[in-house]
Amino acid sequence: MTRETVNKLHFPHGNPVEFEYPIQEQLQIGDVIVVLLDIPPKVKYELNVFAFSTSGDFLWRVQETELFYRGSNCPYVGLTITDNQQLVQFNWCDTAIIMNPSTGEILDKYITK
């Protein structure tokens, strides 16, 4: 089982992963731990979602994608898991992306407003 402290993700066997910013949210989908970082309002850091295996191996970081609205700063602000175990990430600029949690592949996206 993993646990988190302000900006570290701790795995049962291995060194913790330390992030530049605090962890806002952590979800587990099967053998994948997804981490959303809490980015301060005036900091441009849009690729703020990471995934690791439950053993601590880095799997992926959210990739850049075309957004429905383009603001000056569009970090991800929320995560959810669908009934069919897909990961949905919501960003500040009205875009939600549906991803395969194991690979980080973007499967679809939609506008949230």
Query: What are 58-103's pLDDT values in tens digits?
Result: 999 999 888 887 777 889 999 999 999 999 999 988 999 999 999 9
Question: Could you count the other beta carbons within 10 Å of the beta carbon of residue 15?
Answer: 9
Q: Side chain identity at 76, as an amino acid letter?
A: Y
- Please say whether the beta carbons of 103 and 47 come within 8 A: no
pLDDT score recorded for residue 3: 62
Structure tokens at 89: 């990430």
pLDDT score recorded for residue 50: 98
The span from the CA of 44 to the CA of 39, in Å, is 8
pLDDT score recorded for residue 86: 93
pLDDT score recorded for residue 2: 60
Work out the percent of the chain whose per-residue pLDDT is above 90: 67
76-90 as b/e, with b when 16 or more CB fall inside 10 Å? bbebeeeeeeebbbb
* Per-residue pLDDT reduced to its tens digit, 9-63: 988 877 899 999 999 999 999 999 999 999 998 898 999 999 999 989 999 999 9
Please give, one letter per residue, the 3-state secondary structure of 14-55: CCCEECCCCEEEEEEECCEEEEEECCCCCCCCCCCEEEEECC
Question: Could you count the other beta carbons within 10 Å of the beta carbon of residue 34?
Answer: 23
pLDDT score recorded for residue 90: 94
